[in-house]
Structure 1
Amino acid sequence: MSLLLQRRLLCTNVHKKWKVKQVTKTNFQESLKELETHVSNSDFVAVSMEKTGSFSASWHRVLPFDTVEIAYCKARHSAERFQLLQFAVCPFSIADSNKFIANPYNFLLFPRDELRTGMPSYNFSCQTSHLTSMAREGFDFNACIYDAGVSYLSRVQESKAKMQIGNYMPCPNVNNSSSTSTTADTVFVERIKSRIKYWIKSCEKCGKSTSKDDALLASLRKIVMGSEMFGSRHCLTIDVCSDRQVQLILEMLVNFPNVVPLLVPGKGNTALAICLVLMKSKEDKDLFERERQKLEEEENKKLRGFREVIELISASQKPVLFHKCLDDCAFIHSKFIAPLPSEVNEFINSFRSVFSHVIDVNHMMKKFEAVRNMTSISAALLYLKNHFFATVDVEIPDQATTNGGKNDGLDALRICYLFMKICSILKISPCVTESGNKHLAAELQDFTNVFHPWTADSRELADESISIWANNTRKVNSEQLVFLWGVQFRITASMLKNLLQESHGIFSREFDVKLVDKDCAIVVFWEPGLSKAFINAMSNEQISGLLRELVSNGLRVASYDTYRTVCRLGLWEANLSESLDGALEKSDGEFSNICCHNDNVMNLDNR
């Protein structure tokens, strides 16, 4: 029986009773309330995502010889290029060491500009293999794009949207200004005070008027005074030119207890105007504050959309489980928080301010040496099933709430299941003594906040030691590695190694060869200094023998720094050799016109 068939049978037989609640626009709000309760009562939250693609060439994925910096460059490229269509969330609590209680949800997403603010407005790529796989599993693209997919804005986009739609904002607390008042300040305050007094008197007279003539005069008075209506209450808008004027008006309004000020936001953190709302009584003022807060929260929910889920998980401070931590965290940051920063340190600090503790179950699988290169959840479960006896029971109390028997979003549940299996086999206690991250088992802390899939501890960001093979823990400094390409015929790693041994005396020392893709290989010199010597030999005019013949036929070499430059500047060609050629041939500052292309990726202009 083939391994692929075994994996499918495992997922079908073990998980055939699992049901996931499908969430669309129609049931989003009610599901959000349920999810809030489930997250609050959970010990962990597992998440998984379905994207329009991940990488368009084999070398674009994070490889064992990538430093943390380069791994982040690749994850950022993927997150900025592709789009999320599904986001599965599964809060679960530990019943005992062999049982967990799960409440899985699967959210259908689409970045639709529902508020006509121009956001989100993405151009994103779709990888045909991903779309084909989703279609085979029954994903409804029509429902997602037309009406069922829940839209969202990131935190940064929400701030911009609020300025565009001109939502009123509550004024800050008044602090007496320490600066000395000028003559201009005094004149400004007296003018505004006089205007407010006259406006209040006009509103009071308008309320007492009963005849048609008085109603006409009241209407004319409103026009002259610029008075408007804020719901059922009178309001007056006063334009401001500076924060100083805002401060002066707020200080002066202490003398008008029945007037509530609201800021009209402008660009940046400035205010365009202050809207003064006239209250009828203290009770009316309290009612207005409650109405305003409720209206503001409703508007904010419309702006945030699905991001309400992200904020809910963030506020809970529960540990969050991922299967591909770096990739998924980059997507979450890009879509729901802010544009991804250029530096990995800044990204990690920013992301940890949202999710303080993340656990990568794929990194936990690295404890099993035989499967250090395994990246599939189903393959990992199959391996553990065939090699270890570890019974895990799952209870899903809300199965009856699922829609139509769909099983989209099962990966989040599988992550929970895999996590419990690993904990059982490794004798790690998954129990949380109290709610919160500080009470995780000590063994789990070793798998927490590790953002590089192949590095034992990505918190050591300055470490240039890298692995070459997924199943070999031997480390080497990145300076001892070179990239080789331009061999005119298809060749295996062992054949290339033999060819190099015959070409130059440098290769009499210990070295290894690994193919990166069909056209490019890496050469690892286990002794320091040999990589630089080899690069110098390649450019030496006195080169002779087989190495000279190889160079004449197109053999090229580049240092690890060149590879780092390729990734930092985004030279994402389909073949690594083309990207390295571009980095070597282009001088500094000439990278702006280089773009990536791939026949298997199509660009969708979401207008």
Structure 2
Amino acid sequence: MSGVFLRRLCTNTSGASARKWSVAQVFKSNFADSLEGLRAHVSGSDYVAVWLRRTGSPSAAWHRVSRLDTLEAAYSKAKHAAEKFQVLQFAVCPFEVRASKVVAHPYNFHLFPRDELDIKRPSYSFTCQSSHLASMVDEGFDFNACIYDGISYLSREQEDLAKVWKGIPVRGKYLEKSSSSPSVADAVFLERIRSRIKQWKNSFEDSSTRNDEPLIKSMRKLILGSEEYGSRPSITIDVCSQRQVQLALEVLAQFSEDLVPLIIPAKGAGAWAVRVLLTSSKEDKNLLEQELQNLEQEQTKAFRGFREVIELISAAQKPIVSHNTLNDFTSIYPMFLAPLPSNVDEFICSLLSVFPQVFDLNHLMKEIAPLGKTTNIPTALSFLNNRFFAPVDVEVSPVAGSEGKIHGLNVVRICQLFAKLCSILRSAPESSQSDSSHQAGTLERFANIYRPWPSADPLDESISIWRNDTRRVNCKDVVFLWGFKKGMSTKMLKSRLQGSHKVFSENFDVRLVDKTCAIVIFWQPGLSETLLSIMNSGDISGPLWDLVSEGLKAAGYETYMKLCRLGLFEADLADAFDYNFVNHDDYSEDHSMRKNYEIHSSSESMIYLEDL
């Protein structure tokens, strides 16, 4: 009785605390100040929780990542959603865990992509779902503030392109002379640059020229091609290839004591130029290099925008906690790093170089309740409170701009749920170094799991069929069926299949994927190939022919994977299968013949930033 009372008390207390929590709301106008506060909090944290709010999510049942998906299929679905919907809120919460206490520092960043740098790229467009926007309005979300004061950003790849487009100079590094013999053209170029640099330097070092008339000085500058960079003399070396850039830097290495090179890309792309700055002393050179470094940092901040937060978290190397890792990081990757890779292995490998340790609450939760209906954070917290005594006290630090604001509150709940799961799994970190080491070792097996559902073998291609059944089946033993009569239930379809052919005389199950498509699960290996061979041959008779004549069609799991990879996300799964077969004319899986397919959507659902 006392245990039940304590659990209820813990639940009620948690709910009361949640109503008092508030999150700092960060816009472009207060981004710089908030970034400094976040930097300090990340530095002192154990973990960093993240939570994203997008303009929509996959609506059709089969568009969402499910138990039927292998890792590759799940990645394809998550990739499609990430490229379709836009992140408007990105909540970040550094937090410390000490026994049963969590100290959280939540920030909710409001984002909106715009071409503030006037580089004419990228051209943003995204899809919005009215239900998602309506729910945000109900929560008091201010779309005007988001659009006009939201924080913009560029990915790493977009930043590199932007710097080239804007012709931003980059400090050059001196190169040692190549050991290989230069070609005749290279030798001529090297000698010409060496001679020009010597003459230019000598003109400033020759004391006899210091008292020349202004006109003579101007003529000398014109002849030598001398310019000024601030108060320092400079000269520009025109080059037409990366090879000539390297050769110029080799020559400049001979004068490294008082010269500082800058590499200037031509606007748009193509040709390069090397600008050489002349300093008056070693102290002056150090001062110039510091000035250039400060200027580069300021320019980088202007290009990065919100990506400063991502770079900050990445540099800190703190473990990241997310509620749905695959969905979250397929959104984060193209926004701040580069376009999403075509395959999941490349995606995970690249992501690990930026975020080496990521924990997914779904996988921690399934360790405790593999069959529990814990599809969201409040449900998971309620489930744990009703079954375990694991009180967690959450203290949210007061941050300027957080009063009365609830947007991004789920990021605090993620911290709370993570600490509770760690406590239940007896792996909660303590303040001592030894306990921290023990905690890290215990949690290590839960890190960087991007599979939609847990499996003993990370390379396993088996899938789960039912929520309340731990059995798994190899995807090769699954066949998709569609074209059956509308309104047919699983029981009715299985009844008609039984006895229609000897392939259905063995043990099999049927499950509806959506209202138009079902899967047949064969528990005996090899029967799926037999059924597909029969359906593809046309040599069908008996009751099975009756079903086929009514429109029944079949496809293997590889065809389903193909739909996901190509992004053939029709409203119903049956339509997607039909579209694939009409346009590809067979059941083959010749991936070398893949093309890019355009998915048509209503223009009313698209937002074009150029029109705002």
TM-score using structure 1 length: 0.90
Comparing 585-594 and 485-494, the one that deviates more: 585-594
**Match in the other structure for 2:245:** 246
Comparing 184-193 and 62-71, the one that deviates more: 184-193
**Contact preservation (8 Å) 2:23, 2:403:** no
Instruction: Report the residue type matching 2:573 in the other structure.
Output: L
Instruction: Report the residue type matching 1:333 in the other structure.
Output: Y
Cα distance 1:371–1:207, how it changes in 2: closer, same or farther (>3 A)? farther
Instruction: Report the residue type matching 2:162 in the other structure.
Output: A
Q: Aligned ranges for residues 27-176 of structure 1 at < 5 Å?
A: 27-96=30-99, 98-146=100-148, 148-176=149-177
SS of the residue aligned with 2:446? coil
**Contact preservation (8 Å) 1:480, 1:531:** yes
Q: CA deviation at 1:395?
A: 1.5
**Match in the other structure for 2:189:** 188
Cα distance 1:237–1:502, how it changes in 2: closer, same or farther (>3 A)? same
Identity across the alignment (%): 51
Distance (Å, rounded) in 2 between the aligned partners of 1:312 and 1:333: 15
Q: CA deviation at 1:314?
A: 1.0
Alignment deviations for residues 446-499 of structure 1 (CA, whole Å, 9 cap, x no partner): 211110121325732xx2211111232101111111111112220222222222
The equivalent position to 1:504 in structure 2, one of 489, 501, 504, is: 501
Instruction: Report the residue type matching 1:79 in the other structure.
Output: A
Distance (Å, rounded) in 2 between the aligned partners of 1:10 and 1:80: 40
**Match in the other structure for 2:587:** none
Q: CA deviation at 1:12?
A: 6.1
**Match in the other structure for 2:478:** 481
Cα distance 1:574–1:342, how it changes in 2: closer, same or farther (>3 A)? same
**Contact preservation (8 Å) 1:106, 1:409:** yes
**Match in the other structure for 1:604:** 607
Unaligned runs of 5+ in 2: 1-10, 585-589
Distance (Å, rounded) in 1 between the aligned partners of 2:362 and 2:521: 26
Cα distance 1:207–1:79, how it changes in 2: closer, same or farther (>3 A)? farther
What do you get for the CA RMSD once the two structures are aligned?
3.0
Distance (Å, rounded) in 2 between the aligned partners of 1:590 and 1:518: 30
**Match in the other structure for 1:470:** 467
Unaligned runs of 5+ in 1: 1-7
Alignment deviations for residues 304-344 of structure 1 (CA, whole Å, 9 cap, x no partner): 11111111111111110010111111111111111111111
Q: CA deviation at 1:548?
A: 2.1
Alignment deviations for residues 374-409 of structure 1 (CA, whole Å, 9 cap, x no partner): 321122122222333321101223x14234421111
Q: Aligned ranges for residues 432-471 of structure 1 at < 5 Å?
A: 440-456=439-455, 459-460=458-459, 463-471=460-468
Distance (Å, rounded) in 1 between the aligned partners of 2:104 and 2:492: 52
Distance (Å, rounded) in 2 between the aligned partners of 1:228 and 1:595: 52
Alignment deviations for residues 62-104 of structure 1 (CA, whole Å, 9 cap, x no partner): 11121111111111111111111111111111122x1111111
Distance (Å, rounded) in 2 between the aligned partners of 1:451 and 1:94: 24
Cα distance 1:438–1:273, how it changes in 2: closer, same or farther (>3 A)? farther
Instruction: Report the residue type matching 2:131 in the other structure.
Output: S
**Match in the other structure for 1:5:** none
Distance (Å, rounded) in 2 between the aligned partners of 1:323 and 1:536: 42
**Contact preservation (8 Å) 1:259, 1:277:** yes
Paired positions, count:
593
Distance (Å, rounded) in 2 between the aligned partners of 1:312 and 1:39: 8
Alignment deviations for residues 263-295 of structure 1 (CA, whole Å, 9 cap, x no partner): 113599987111011212222211111101000
Alignment deviations for residues 575-607 of structure 1 (CA, whole Å, 9 cap, x no partner): 100111122232268875744356698122333
**Contact preservation (8 Å) 1:240, 1:272:** yes
Instruction: Report the residue type matching 1:375 in the other structure.
Output: T
The equivalent position to 1:530 in structure 2, one of 518, 527, 532, is: 527
Distance (Å, rounded) in 2 between the aligned partners of 1:229 and 1:358: 50
Instruction: Report the residue type matching 1:176 in the other structure.
Output: K
**Match in the other structure for 1:561:** 558
**Contact preservation (8 Å) 1:392, 1:417:** yes
SS of the residue aligned with 2:498? helix
**Match in the other structure for 2:420:** 421
**Contact preservation (8 Å) 1:450, 1:458:** no
Q: Does 1:395 align with 2:395?
A: yes
Cα distance 1:224–1:447, how it changes in 2: closer, same or farther (>3 A)? same
Q: CA deviation at 1:58?
A: 1.2
**Contact preservation (8 Å) 2:22, 2:403:** no
Distance (Å, rounded) in 2 between the aligned partners of 1:518 and 1:246: 62
Distance (Å, rounded) in 1 between the aligned partners of 2:343 and 2:108: 32
Instruction: Report the residue type matching 1:337 in the other structure.
Output: L
**Contact preservation (8 Å) 2:429, 2:435:** no
Cα distance 1:311–1:439, how it changes in 2: closer, same or farther (>3 A)? farther
SS of the residue aligned with 1:38? helix
Distance (Å, rounded) in 1 between the aligned partners of 2:268 and 2:437: 38
TM-score using structure 2 length: 0.89
Comparing 365-374 and 333-342, the one that deviates more: 365-374
Instruction: Report the residue type matching 1:582 in the other structure.
Output: Y
Distance (Å, rounded) in 2 between the aligned partners of 1:228 and 1:470: 72
SS of the residue aligned with 1:567? helix
**Contact preservation (8 Å) 1:323, 1:362:** yes
The equivalent position to 2:583 in structure 1, one of 566, 583, 586, is: 586
Q: CA deviation at 1:369?
A: 3.6
Instruction: Report the residue type matching 1:42 in the other structure.
Output: S
Instruction: Report the residue type matching 2:507 in the other structure.
Output: E
Alignment deviations for residues 223-268 of structure 1 (CA, whole Å, 9 cap, x no partner): 3433222122221111123445434433433246322111113599
**Match in the other structure for 1:177:** 178
Instruction: Report the residue type matching 1:289 in the other structure.
Output: E
Q: CA deviation at 1:428?
A: 2.6
Distance (Å, rounded) in 1 between the aligned partners of 2:524 and 2:175: 68
